[in-house]
Amino acid sequence: MKQVIADRTSGAAVALKRSEAKPIDEYLNLSEAELFERIQAAKKTLGDRVVILGHHYQRDDVICHADLTGDSFKLSQLAAERHDAEHLVFCGVHFMAESADILSAAHQQVILPDMAAGCSMADMARLDQVEDAWEQLQQLGITDVLPITYMNSAANIKAFCGRHNGVVCTSSNALPLFKWAFAQREKLFFFPDEHLGRNTGIKFGIPLEQMVVWDPRLELGGNTPDQLRQAKIILWKGFCSVHGRFQARHVDDRRAEHPDIKVLVHPECCYEVVAKSDLNGSTEFIIKTIAEAPAGSKWAVGTELNLVNRLAKRHPDKFVTLLAPDLCMCATMFRIAPENLCWSLENLVAGQVVNHISVDAETARWAKLALDRMLAIQ
C-alpha cells in the first residue's frame, strides 16, 4: 500500500512504498567494494530506465556512479531530456529533487536516496514567513516590488514567485535577471540567500546603503518603514552553511602564505570575502576557471570541500587548495551515501519506488512559470 506524507520543509508530497521496500538496515554493514559492485550491477539491470544525477558537491564514492554531473538546475534540465528514463535518482538535496520533478515528464519519477538530505539555506525561508513579509510590505504601501528566489529554495517558494510575477535565478544568471527585474519594478525582494543578493546588487551598481536585510523573526524584518521605502533591494536573512564559513581573514591568510595565489570564490560567500577575491562566480564558473588556468598557477577556492578536492586531483599541474583551513563540507549533501544509493537502486530492480519526490500539480505549475520566466530572460 502506498503511503503519502506531507514534507514539512517544502509542501511537496512524498510517496513511499514503505511496507514493500527492502529495509535500509541491510545495507549499512556492506563493504565499500560490495556496495560498488551492487550499485553497478543494479545500474546494468535497470539500463536506460534509470539516470543517476550527481551534484558537484557530492562525495566521490557516490559521484563515481553518476550518469550526469552538474549544478542543480543543469542536472534537472539534462535529466528531463532523457526521455527513456523512468526514474531519476538525484544525488543531491531536497530542493534539487523538487526542481527535477517540476521539469521532468509525467512518466518520470524522481528519487532522493536519503530524505534527510535537505538544505539549511532553503529551510531559512518558509512559505508562511515569505507570505507574511509580503503582506507587511503591502500594508506599508510598498507594492512596486518584484520577488526573486534563488534556485536553492523550496518548490512552494518558487511557486510564490510565479504567482507574484517574480522569477527564479541561479548564481550564474542573477545579474541579467536583476536587470530584467528592475525594468519591471522599483524594488526587488530577494530570498533566501542575502549574500548572493547583496553581491549581485553590488555588481548591478546598487550601493550597500540601498539594501536592507529582512529578518523574518522581527516586525517589518527589523527595519523602519522609511528604510524599507528607501531600499532598492530587500534581502532575506539567509545564508549557505558552507559558504558562510569563509571569512575575509581567510583571504588575507592565504595571500600571506602564497603571495602569487589567486582567490576564486562562490557569490554565496559574504560581501567582504567576495570584495577581497580575484574572481567570483557559480560552481560551473569555478570549474571552468580552474580548468582553463595555466599550468603552475595557484588557486585558493572558496566553495564546498568535495569539489575543491576533486579539482585539485583533476588538475595536478596546478596548486588548488581550499580557501579556509578548516572543513567546509556540505553536511546534508554528504548524507547521500553509497548505502542509500544502493538501497534505492536495488528497490527499483525489485519494482519498488522509494523516497519518491512528487510536487503537487498546483505548486509545480506556478513554480514552473517562474522557472520558464528565467529561461526566457537569459
47 and 103 part of one domain: yes
CATH code assigned at 34? 3.40.50.10800
pLDDT above 60 (res 12):
no
- Counting the structural domains of the chain, the total is 3
**Residue 371 in domain:** no
CA 281, 190, 218, 119 dihedral sign is: negative
From residue 127, alpha-carbon distances to 156, 191, 216 in Å are 7, 11, 11
**Residue 350 in domain:** yes
pLDDT tens, 317-327?
999 999 998 76
pLDDT tens, 86-112?
999 999 999 999 999 999 999 999 999
265 and 162 part of one domain: no
352 and 307 part of one domain: no
* pLDDT mean across residues, the chain: 91
**Residue 347 in domain:** yes
Query: Rounded distance, CA 117 to CA 114, Å?
Result: 6
Query: What confidence score (pLDDT) does residue 74 get?
Result: 84
43 and 60 part of one domain: yes
The whole-model pTM stands at 0.90
**Residue 27 in domain:** yes
Query: Rounded distance, CA 179 to CA 182, Å?
Result: 5
Mean pLDDT, to the nearest integer, of 44-62? 94
**Residue 203 in domain:** yes
Expressed as residue numbers, the domain containing 207 is: 122-240
169 and 110 part of one domain: no
CATH code assigned at 173? 3.40.50
- Residue where a domain stops, chosen among 216, 240, 264: 240
The SS3 assignment for 51 reads: strand
**Residue 366 in domain:** no
Mean pLDDT, to the nearest integer, of 53-77? 90
133 and 145 part of one domain: yes
270 and 293 part of one domain: yes
46 and 62 part of one domain: yes
- Residue where a domain stops, chosen among 240, 257, 279: 240
**Residue 16 in domain:** yes
13 and 46 part of one domain: yes
Cell output for 261: 595565489
153 and 91 part of one domain: no
Provide the H-helix boundaries in the chain. 32-46, 60-63, 72-80, 94-103, 120-123, 127-139, 155-163, 174-184, 194-204, 225-230, 248-257, 271-276, 283-292, 305-314, 338-349, 361-377
24 and 97 part of one domain: yes
- Residue where a domain stops, chosen among 180, 212, 240: 240
Mean pLDDT, to the nearest integer, of 280-285? 94
pLDDT tens, 122-179?
999 999 999 999 999 999 999 999 999 999 999 999 999 999 999 999 998 999 999 9
**Residue 50 in domain:** yes
pLDDT band at 79 (very low <50, low <70, confident <90, very high): confident
350 and 264 part of one domain: no
